[in-house]
Chains A and B, each alone.
Chain A
Amino acid sequence: MNKQIKPVSAFQLSDQLYTFSPYLYSLMKPLLFRYEFRRSHLEAFFWLAALIALGTFTPTEEGHSTLCLIRRFDLGFCPGCGLGHSIAWLFRGNISESFHAHPMGVPAVIILIGRIINILKPNISFNRNKYYGKDLSTDS
């Protein structure tokens, strides 16, 4: 696949920022990255959205609409029940309550973050001259 790689506009902006103020640029440098969207990344964004949604959700609230399909349709025992509460407690820093809600809460967050990194890793780069294993410093 001889696809032409175009620099992402963030880098063009960063050049202007550098001419404007080198100090501001040095502060911004760790935040700049090159990224190209693929359809296979949708899974990573789904997990990310789920984690953010659970992070903002208040675990003490009662009577919320349940996401669990097993409980909604009364299909019986669900091994995953409490996982949402567990992750929500974890984002509030309450690990003992998190473990009490569901013991897989901590491993779930670690595994999901690892999976997100694994999916996005090939198409993301923090080095402005390298992308997708290719050296871009030679071409203009």
Chain B
Amino acid sequence: MEKIYQLIPDADIMELQYLDSILSGKSEEQIKQFALVYRSRRRDPIIILITALIGLFFVAGIHRFLLNQIGMGILYLLTGGLCLIGTIVDLINYKNLAFEYNQKVAQEILMFTR
């Protein structure tokens, strides 16, 4: 876990535990390769928070597009974030949303590093 922490310093504890569980049994070289791709492809929760905040005042739904949820993005865009309620839900839930996306990314990368 310490090794992964050094390679991906901006991950929080929940993400680190998840990465630790899926990277168990991988060699050091493989973990390094994984971290290199993962760091450039993961979404930082702060970016999700900022884009959701933009949705509160200007254009809603940017964070959903960033999380690759195109349907939800269009819905938010055309309804003003479900009348601001959806945006407020996402402001509360932004860490889980980012983590959900990052889990998918990690699984995708693992398929190629195997």
Contact = CB atoms under 8 A, between A and B. Distances in A.
A70 B88 CA distance: 13
A112 B79 CA distance: 13
B76 to A, nearest CB: 9
Given A39-B96, A43-B93, A43-B96, A114 B83 contact: no
Nearest to A119: B100
For chain B, which range describes its interface: under 10, 10 to 19, 20 to 34, or 35 or more residues?
20 to 34
Contacts of A68: 83-84
Residue of A40, A69, A78, A80 contacting most chain B CB atoms (<10 Å): A80
B69 A115 contact: yes
Majority-rule SS of B interface residues: helix
A121 to B, nearest CB: 12
A102 B75 CA distance: 12
Interface string A92-128: 0000000000101001100110110001000000000
Given A1-B17, A69-B84, A70-B84, A43 B89 contact: yes
Given A43-B89, A67-B85, A80 B79 contact: yes
Nearest to B77: A79
Interface residues of A, number: 26
30 contacts: A1-B17, A1-B21, A40-B96, A42-B96, A43-B96, A50-B85, A67-B83, A69-B83, A69-B84, A69-B85, A70-B84, A80-B79, A80-B80, A80-B83, A80-B84, A81-B83, A83-B79, A83-B83, A84-B83, A102-B79, A104-B79, A107-B71, A107-B75, A108-B75, A108-B82, A111-B72, A114-B71, A115-B71, A115-B72, A119-B100
Interface of B: 17-18, 21, 69, 71-72, 74-75, 78-85, 89, 93, 96-97, 99-100
